[in-house]
Structure 1
């Protein structure tokens, strides 16, 4: 069974302004997006700083850090299972079966190319095979994106062209094309784009 993992914590002094709006409704929308676009049963795991009022089908795991920050996004790697790891600011727009299936056969972590520096990876969405617990176990608070780049990885863009896209780098002002997952980063989030038809359709 594929695991889908994400994180939610109460904003603190380490939280930037563009990530202070997340709440349980974002978790539900992400779950719903994968439920509509994965044909097989999946496990949905939320790493959180406290118990949340969410459907029982969501497995809640307590974040280990007393004051979570963005480096906490490394923690789900400790599950050590085939996993799609993404942020709450992710919109699932199409059939994710092939992306999920790749997590059972791949030898390296699948990462998108950085939309602003395509020679290197970013961690907007991670396709993770089993056996990569060391990403979490060896982590000592390093920047999450720089840390995950240190481990063997391949580019999702090369394996699944046009299927995992950055909103700002690939989609804004353009059409979705064959996108299956659109990840957001920095400013501009789905709740600010409710006028877009594809947001209305897929982020609910």
Structure 2
């Protein structure tokens, strides 16, 4: 079965200003986005620093191992060793993603999107992870999570499905939503700062 994974922890000294807005509501909206746009069965796991109260009963919680979570903690979900879509809380699912789920269930290499500002390399805005990538977690010793995932053989989501998994700032803000299926946000702006944008109002609920 497919797993969808994300993370939530209380802001600390290592948190940047743009990531201090997350709470349970963000997790619930993300879960509902996947529920609306996946027809395949899936588990939804949120890696957490403590127990949270979610209104959605199907959100599972797994305790983060790091005593002081930071962005390197985003590697921990790879330790599940299962087919997985890994996303940040600042992600909106805008269309059917069954084919992305099938990739995770059948492929041999994990796939990442191009960095919107440095297209020769990938970023970790969304990760499509087949079975067999547990080593990304077991070998990790706190390295920068973005640089860490680039060290391993991977495919590029943009080449597999152009225009479907994209950055808000690097693509959607200038070119519109188009055939986007997953939009990931990085830095500023975040979805809650865009209440006037029609597609955000439609899909981030």
TM interval, short-chain normalised: over 0.9
Structure 2 CA distance for aligned equivalents of residues 178 and 50 of structure 1: 37
Structure 1 residue ranges, 4+ long, deviating more than 4 angstroms after superposition:
none
1:40-119 map, 5 Å: 40-54=40-54, 55-119=56-120
TM (normalized to structure 1)? 0.99
What is the 5 A alignment of 1:1-204? 1-54=1-54, 55-204=56-205
- Alpha-carbon distance, 1:105 to partner: 1.6
Specify every segment of 5 or more residues in structure 2 that has no aligned partner in the other structure, as ranges: none
Counterpart CA distance in 2 for 1:90 and 1:47 is 16
Superposition deviation, residue 106 in structure 1: 1.3
Q: TM-score, normalised by structure 2?
A: 0.98
Cα distance in 1 for partners of 2:146, 2:49 equals: 21
Secondary structure of the structure 2 residue equivalent to 1:67: coil
Q: Secondary structure at the match of 1:172?
A: helix
Question: CA offset at residue 59 of structure 1?
Answer: 1.1
CA RMSD of aligned residues (A): 0.6
Q: Give the C-alpha shift of residue 175 in structure 1.
A: 1.2
- Cα displacement (A) at 1:160: 0.8
Look up the SS of the partner of 1:47 in the other structure: strand
Gaps of 5+ in 1: none
**SS of equivalent to 1:114:** coil
Report the Cα distance in structure 2 between the residues aligned to 1:71 and 1:119, rounded to whole angstroms. Answer: 22
